[in-house]
Every structure is written in structure tokens, then in C-alpha cells.
Amino acid sequence: MRKTLAIVSLTLAFGAGVDAADTKAQTTTVDKATAAATDKATAAAKDKATSMATKATSMATDKATSMAKDKATDMAKDKATSMATDKATSMAKDKATGMAKDKAT
């Protein structure tokens, strides 16, 4: 009877040890899977953030370039118009002065 009790106790102790080992293995597996999933999600989030930042930078650059070109074009047009007006006015004055002198003589 004692021998049987010892065998049963040993069997139960061994079974508990196996269960503990299985639980530890399962915990390790879950921890590894969690770490891998976290790493993958982090990498995907970084890629998405980088992509969005690059797109935003590109859009801002395009907008700034467009605005600068528009401003430069407007300034050039204004300057050309001003110069043309000044030149035309000067030529008209010269012509009128010349005609007045001719008429006076």
C-alpha cells in the first residue's frame, strides 16, 4: 500500500511538474508572439508616419513653390507694366514737346 501511495504521489508530482513546464512554455510562446506582433505593428506605424510626413512635406514644398512663383510673376508683371507706362509717358511727353516746338516755330 505504501509502495502504491508512493507511486501515485510520484506520478502526481511528475504531472504537476509537466503542467508547470507546459504553462511556462505557453507563457514564453505567448510572450514571443506578443513581442513579434508589437514589433511588426511598430514598424508599420513608423512606415505610415514616415510616408505621411513625406507627403505633407512634399505638399508644403509644392504649395510654397507655387505661391513664390505666383508672387514673383505678379511682381514682374507689375514692374513691367510700371516700366512700360513710364516709358510710354516719357515718349508721349517727348513727342508732345517736339510737336509743340515745331508748331511754335
Express each pLDDT in 6-46 by its tens digit.
Answer: 555 555 555 555 555 567 777 888 888 888 889 999 999 99
Q: Decide if pLDDT at 56 tops 70.
A: yes
Total number of residues shown for the chain: 105
> How much is the pLDDT for 11?
57
Maximal CA-CA distance, the chain:
154
The position carrying cell 513579434 is 36
For range 77-102, the mean pLDDT: 91
